[in-house]
Copies of this chain bind each other. A is one copy, B any other.
Amino acid sequence: MTIERRKLRWNGWGLVDAPDVLGDRAEGVWTWMSRALGVSPLPSTPAKELSDITLPPVLLDSHTLRKIESVLRAGRVTTDDYERAFHARGKSYLDLLHLRAGRLDTAPDAVVYPTSAEEVLALVRLAEAERIALIPFGGGSTVVGGVTAEPGKGHVAAVTVDTTLMNQVLEIDKESLIACVQSGIYGPQLEEALQAEGVTLGHYPQSFEFSTLGGWIAPRSAGQQSNKYGKAEHWVVATNLATPQGMWSTENFPGSAAGPQLTDLVVGSEGVLGIIADAVIRLHPAPEAKDYRGYVFMDFAAGVAATRDMMQAAVPTAMIRLSDAAETRSFRALYAGGAEPDAADQFCLMVVGLEGDRATVDTALERSRAVIERHGGMELGEGPGETWYRSRFATPYLRDPMMDRGLAVETLETATRWSNIINLHEVTSRAIADAMEANPGAPGARGIVMAHISHSYTDGASLYFMCTFVRDTAREVEQWLAIKRAASDAIVANGGTISHHHGVGTDHMPWIGSEKGPISTAILKAVKDQVDPTGILNPGKLIA
């Protein structure tokens, strides 16, 4: 039970036959976007059809292909055009620019579908002997270039390892609330299997429907309810990876002081230290009750203070999602089908999600309300909570029709301590706005930048930025790069991490060195050289 590749968009989000995400709001939304972004009418910029694209030649000879076939089950090696195109890149704005334009130079030479840890290990060994780069690929939903299929130095070809046939729940230990699961399982299949047993992982990133367990572990992913269920680094107990040195099984204990825990090195390793075959993960009882409701604050600072106080007072929330004023205005426009709020409006929407047993949810509701009220927040009831919950996986579907209309939407994220949140929000928003202004897609075009807090800790929170602008079709990669660079420079110069949950991939490579510093960088390189001396594992990502 995986998702057949041809049912998925190779150059866009989700299912080929998904209905229009805007439904009957479409006309109002496009009118609003056109007005808000300062371009009318919206241009028509359709994507190139795959049938009109010539893929690069396959660099593997038939002899080598047969060797690869020999370590896998029959029919699990393909050089089919659709498969190569589907696996050429991830789902970032930059990826879509390339894919939609038909630039498929990063298409892998072959795609393979192993079904077991043993097969992956045999593949890794063969690849090392044959100098073939291997790119691990789950749902391929990376937005930082984490699956771009490029061989490294000295490699003869690049083969993408699609893990989605490794999708079995191997063991559920209900007494210990842990499970051992193969890495290629998609979110819905995993939760279905777990919830049938009364348990949950509770990890619901926006990509949930089209991303996999291994894809969550590799870049330290965060689910929308991470306040309760934790990021990947919090719920991974142990991992089993195929490496050129053999199967690497990391520590498997609830807590250990037997030296540094190498599991911590795997979570965030983005496929460069091994291909995750399976993992032991921490579960929770499936929540008996859920409560999602909205609140509104007079300004962002008041909402930030309330979020911080809930975290520091250990109010057991599952999610606190605080939109800044710009995002709040956009949501109102979007969900009202284009009715435009006053641009000076500083109201900020917060959605608080509570999950757990009835008693915990009731207590958390009472306590969160008290904190919010103390900071001048006003309750809006369950309506905004339900709206958010219903559409929580839908937003990515909006990007494809926007790109069809000459528009761009980019997201990036960071995290910092509470005492720096307001500052980082301001300087990064400003840097993005300035870069959009300096790189207009059309005369009179205006960009929109908005942000929210969606993952909080006692000591700080994430900041997630989204910007929308008119594409400069003559130089759209350069336009994106200018904006991305401005935002990333601002983040790193102002005490933010280059990523809170998207990872490094290829896109954050220019900033990772300064964030880690020379000693940490050298250590990571030493680890890489020890495990993968010929650099066949996901070259070009994370470790230079």
Contacts and interface: CB of A to CB of B under 8 A. Distances in A.
Contact of A499 (B233, B257, B282): B257
Interface in A497-531: 497-504, 508, 512, 515-520, 522-527, 529-531
Contacts of A222: 255, 257
Interface string A40-72: 000000000000000000000000000000000
A249 B516 CA distance: 8
B254 A261 contact: no
Nearest to A543: B259
Given A523-B265, A523-B531, A357 B256 contact: no
Contact of A526 (B256, B266, B313, B527): B527
Contacts of A264: 260-261, 264-265
Given A259-B269, A285-B312, A359-B367, A415 B254 contact: yes
A237 B175 contact: no
Contact of A460 (B254, B259, B512): B254
A255 B457 contact: yes
Contacts of A255: 222, 231, 415, 455, 457, 460, 462, 497, 500-501
Interface stretch (A98-106, A240-248, A403-411): A240-248
Contacts of A253: 415-417, 460, 496-497, 500
B177 A259 contact: no
A523 B260 CA distance: 11
A90 interface: no
B248 A259 contact: no
Contacts of A515: 251, 258
A219 interface: yes
A499 B258 contact: yes
Contact of A516 (B258, B455, B542): B258
A314 B228 CA distance: 10
A419 B522 CA distance: 40
A195 to B, nearest CB: 16
Nearest to A173: B419
Contact of A220 (B257, B356, B500, B512): B257
Given A258-B499, A526-B526, A173 B357 contact: no
A523 B519 contact: no
A248 B527 contact: no
Contacts of A501: 255, 257
Contact of A517 (B249, B265, B457, B461): B249
Contact of A257 (B457, B503, B517, B531): B503
Nearest to A268: B260
B257 A314 contact: no
A48 to B, nearest CB: 32
A512 B258 contact: yes
Contacts of A518: 245-246
A522 to B, nearest CB: 6
Interface string A474-487: 00000000000000
A260 B265 contact: yes
B221 A516 contact: no
A504 to B, nearest CB: 5
A503 B261 CA distance: 12
A178 interface: yes
Contacts of A458: 177, 282-284
Contact of A262 (B178, B457, B520, B542): B520
Interface string A205-236: 00000000000000111100000000101000
A276 to B, nearest CB: 13
A267 interface: yes
Contacts of A83: none
A395 interface: no
A250 interface: yes
The CB with the most chain B CB atoms within 10 A, among A175, A285, A420, A519, is that of A519
A469 interface: no
Contacts of A345: none
Given A500-B255, A529-B526, A459 B176 contact: yes
Nearest to A520: B262
Contact of A259 (B313, B420, B504): B504
Given A173-B419, A176-B459, A254-B459, 13 more contacts: A222-B255, A248-B520, A251-B520, A255-B462, A257-B497, A258-B498, A259-B268, A259-B269, A260-B265, A262-B516, A265-B265, A284-B312, A522-B530
Chain A to chain B: the 5 pairs with minimum beta-carbon distance, closest first: A254-B460, A264-B264, A526-B530, A220-B257, A176-B417
28 contacts: A175-B308, A175-B419, A177-B459, A178-B417, A220-B257, A231-B255, A243-B519, A248-B517, A251-B516, A254-B461, A255-B415, A255-B501, A256-B499, A257-B501, A258-B268, A259-B268, A259-B270, A259-B503, A260-B266, A260-B524, A264-B265, A265-B265, A282-B459, A284-B312, A522-B530, A523-B527, A523-B531, A527-B527
